[in-house]
Each structure stands twice: as C-alpha cells, then as structure tokens.
C-alpha cells in the first residue's frame, strides 16, 4: 500500500485543507477538511498524543456504509487543533459506480477456498464466525472497486491455524489480493523456550500480541508498575523478542507462548475449552513491579502477572510456571480449593501437577519436561528449582509424606505430599533418568510403586479436581476423590485404581 505524507507548506499541504477560523476537529469537520465525498465516513481507531500536545488520530474509512480496505489514514493536529498533516494509505479518491455486486457471495467463498488450497492450507473452511464473504471497497491496489473479503480458516503447514484473507472483485470474480493473518514462521525468541511461533493479530500499522485463535489472549507491558491495564505489545513486523531480558518483548514471548501451550494442553488432552471452559482467555501482564520475584493469577481481573525476578533479568515466565499460574484459574473455576491448610496445599499441588504436565506436553527441546518447577528461572540465585516433585524435601521445607502437622505448613510446602503422590503415580519409585535429568523417589514404607504413566495420572487428577474435590477437600478427601476418578475413567478393579491407592499409601495418606 502506498503511504503519502502531505508536507506542511507544499502544494499538498494539510494546512491548505484547514477550514477558516477555529479548527473543526469533529468527524464531519475532518472529513470535510480532507475533501471526502458525502458517502465517505471516518471511524476513529486510535489516538496518540505527543508530549508537545500534537495529536495523531488514526481513522478507518467507510463508503456507502462499507469498510474501505486500504482507505485508512492518520490526521496530525497541533495542540490548538490546527491540521498539520495527513498520512494516507491511498491518495486516490474513493468512489465506485455501484454498490450492487454482480458476483454471488458463494462464488467468492469458493474462489477464496481455491486460493487457500493453492496456499497449502489444509481443511480450508469459510464456515466459522466472521469468515463468510463480506462486501468491502478495495482501495489498496489501484482504483477502488467493490469487492468481497473472505477469511479462510483451516490449518497451515506445521499445525498453525489459518486466517487467509482473500479479496475478490465483486464484479469480475478476479482475485485482487490475499494475505495470511497468522504468521507461520517460528521467528519469535523467548528467554526460556528458544525460538517459538506466536499467533499475533494485524492492527494499526503493524502487529499486536493478541492471539485470536485462543480466545483473544492479550499480552501487555506493565512497565514496572503494580497497577493499571498496561500497554498492549505491538510490533512493526511481527517478529517478537530476541531471547534477552533487556528486550522487553522477550518476557512477552515467554508469557504468550506459555498461555498458548497451556490452552492447547487443556483443549487437546483434557477437553477443556480454555481456563474457564468458555473459550475466553485471560490477559498476561509482564514486567510487574521492579525486581518483583513472583508471578500470580488474579481471578477477579482474569489476569496473570509476572515479575522480572530479584535481579530484574529472570522473569517468572518459564513454561511450567506459566502453566502453574493459569491452572490456578482452572481451580478457581472448579473446586475452588480454599487457599489454606490441606486444601491450600492441594490447590498449589494442582497447579504444580498441571504445569508440569503442560511442560511435558509442549515437547520443547529448549525446555524439556521434568518434575522440577521453575528450574530455569534461577529464583534463588543458586540454579536450583523452586520445587521438586520426585523428592519434595530437597528444597529444605516441603513435605514428602503426610502427617498430622501437614495442615500447618505453608501451602507451597504442604503441596509436596500431593506432588510426590503424582510423581509416584506417574513414574513409580526408585531412581531414573527422565529427559536427561536424574529423578529419585522413595515411598514412606519402603514399598515399590509402579507408575501408570503421566498421561493417565494427570487425567485422574483433573477428573478428581473437576468432579470430586470441593473447597475444603483434605488429603484424605483427595485420596477418596482420585480413587473415584480412577474408577470413573478406568473401571472398578482396574490396575489404575490399585495404583492410585498404592501411591497414596506410599506418601502416608491412608
């Protein structure tokens, strides 16, 4: 698209367009000042104010009520409202002979699907929300024409979703333009997960870190503040982060990637449509506070907040930590385990268990799955993980086994009993190497426990959480709830039910 700036003082000076007397900054006044015809209307999309009072207002344009693609413009006004310049996507006048198409919408949809097939989109479809052909004015490629815009869904190479926008001439049926709104190149660089492929959204003059394929998840920069809505991450070319914490986008890449992998895990493994099971997505906030060494989920605002760590260079955005925090949202939407006593320990353990399962499911070679939480964020400054699930007491404070004092521990430490149970149920007792990392676990009574595999173990825990746990569930109740879940999933008398009982006994919950 051509971009033209009308320089002040030239033959096309915006000052020459300004009306006499006090500036009229209304929509109608601005349209008149720009010489738009009666069928053209302006719609404000964004406003940016400079420190000196200059205001840059971005407008979309309609013609006869139809959106004009390639008709957007930015009007620049001085502090007193005087028109100083305009940046246009097209210099051509917007006018078409008729708003009645000769081409039927169905033919435009078929042509768009053909274009998608040619672009190697698998399972192309125009049946989704906001995908059917809509009438537009296409002004980005020469003389404006009446056209259809069709969005083709489906799957790109490598499993990335498709949102292929196809512009078709509504008179001739000719394809005028196409673009893929979802980047399919793994060119976004995180601090912990290496190079990843984020879904972003075209907006303004570039891209916004909004994942329209996963409930509209937004990643915003709090800029060291501890309140406020923050600033949505934007980028000119949609290539996010560089892997270094000095680049503010890098933490955003980890946060957005963490949500994407969490959402995909819940949907594909557990059949859950997002954190609240309603398709909506929370917002991720990075750079919370100054050298803030924590991350947390806030249910009332439906948000995740990530600090940058004690050194300001180690944001708590590693994948299993992200999965942990988002999973607090799942608990809040289901059992609502009270965050104190034994139920509080089960609440924390639920997030550790699901965060760990999410890390394994992601299959990321830069952050391979293990049963340690936050091992890459160097929380303590000594390279050690936040928590160990194979032998929780390795952190010096968490409980390996239940006893009568468990309810009096901090919930991050009483969670060790359930974390240990989950490890034993998944992997069994003894020593083993998992993804190159040595793990060690022993039962309280010295018995040998044989694991049933992580996939089955996580489904049992999730079933118990969503069907049998309540706000006040204790460890005894968790044993009963997971046994009921195993019966529900695998049948009474199954090996899985027996394994659940043995794993709980191994951590002294009888």
Report, as residue numbers or ranges, the catalytic residues: 325, 412
Distance CA 134, CA 147 (A): 8
Distance CA 5, CA 94 (A): 18
For residue 15, what are the CA distances in angstroms to 19, 31, 74, 88, 332? Answer: 9, 14, 15, 15, 57
Q: Which of 65, 19, 6 is nearest to 40 (CA)?
A: 65
Measured in residues, the chain has a length of 510
Determine how many CB atoms are found less than 10 A away from the CB of residue 124.
19
Distance CA 257, CA 235 (A): 16
Phi, psi dihedral angles at 6 (to 5 degrees): -85, 105
71 contacts 90 by C-beta, under 8 angstroms: yes
Strands (E), 7-131: 40-49, 55-63, 66-69, 73-77, 83-88, 122-125
Phi, psi dihedral angles at 264 (to 5 degrees): -65, -40
419 contacts 395 by C-beta, under 8 angstroms: no
Helices (H), 363-474: 411-427, 454-467
Tokens, residue 227: 């309140």
């Amino acid at each position: 698209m051509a971009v033209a700036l009308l320089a002040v003082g030239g033959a096309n000076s915006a000052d020459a367009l300004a009306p006499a007397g006090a500036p009229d900054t209304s929509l109608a006044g601005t349209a008149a000042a720009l010489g738009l015809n009666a069928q053209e209307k302006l719609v404000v999309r964004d406003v940016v104010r400079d420190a000196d009072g200059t205001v840059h207002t971005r407008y979309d344009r309609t013609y006869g009520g139809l959106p004009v693609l390639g008709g957007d413009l930015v009007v620049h006004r001085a502090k007193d409202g005087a028109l100083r310049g305009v940046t246009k996507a097209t210099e051509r006048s917007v006018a078409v002979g008729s708003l009645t198409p000769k081409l039927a919408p169905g033919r435009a949809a078929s042509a768009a699907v053909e274009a998608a097939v040619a672009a190697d989109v698998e399972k192309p479809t125009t049946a989704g929300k906001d995908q059917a052909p809509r009438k537009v004015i296409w002004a980005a490629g020469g003389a404006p024409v009446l056209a259809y815009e069709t969005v083709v869904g489906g799957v790109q190479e490598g499993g990335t979703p498709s949102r292929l926008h196809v512009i078709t001439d509504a008179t001739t049926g000719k394809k005028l333009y196409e673009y893929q709104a979802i980047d399919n190149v793994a060119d976004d660089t995180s601090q912990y997960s290496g190079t990843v492929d984020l879904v972003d959204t075209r907006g303004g003059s570039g891209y916004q870190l909004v994942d329209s394929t996963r409930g509209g998840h937004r990643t915003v920069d709090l800029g060291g503040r501890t309140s406020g809505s923050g600033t949505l991450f934007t980028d000119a070319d949609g290539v996010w982060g560089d892997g270094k914490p000095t680049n503010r986008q890098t933490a955003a890449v980890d946060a957005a990637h963490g949500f994407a992998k969490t959402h995909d895990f819940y949907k594909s493994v557990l059949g859950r449509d997002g954190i609240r099971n309603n398709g909506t997505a929370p917002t991720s906030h990075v750079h919370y506070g100054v050298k803030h060494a924590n991350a947390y989920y806030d249910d009332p605002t439906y948000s995740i907040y990530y600090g940058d760590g004690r050194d300001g260079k180690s944001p708590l955005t590693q994948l299993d930590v992200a999965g942990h925090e988002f999973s607090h949202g799942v608990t809040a939407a289901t059992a609502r385990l009270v965050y104190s006593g034994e139920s509080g320990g089960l609440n924390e353990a639920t997030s550790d268990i699901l965060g760990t399962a999410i890390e394994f499911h992601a299959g990321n070679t830069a952050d391979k799955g293990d049963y340690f939480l936050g091992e890459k964020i160097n929380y303590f400054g000594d390279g050690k993980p936040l928590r160990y699930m194979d032998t929780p007491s390795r952190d010096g404070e968490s409980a390996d086994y239940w006893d009568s004092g468990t309810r009096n521990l901090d919930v991050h430490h009483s969670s060790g009993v359930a974390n240990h149970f989950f490890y034993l149920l998944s992997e069994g007792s003894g020593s083993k190497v998992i993804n190159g990392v040595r793990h060690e676990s022993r039962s309280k009574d010295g018995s040998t426990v044989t694991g049933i595999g992580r996939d089955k173990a996580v489904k049992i825990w999730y079933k118990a959480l969503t069907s049998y746990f309540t706000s006040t569930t204790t460890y005894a109740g968790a044993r009963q709830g997971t046994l009921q879940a195993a019966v529900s999933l695998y049948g009474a008398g199954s090996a899985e039910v027996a394994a659940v009982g043995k794993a709980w006994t191994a951590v002294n919950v009888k």
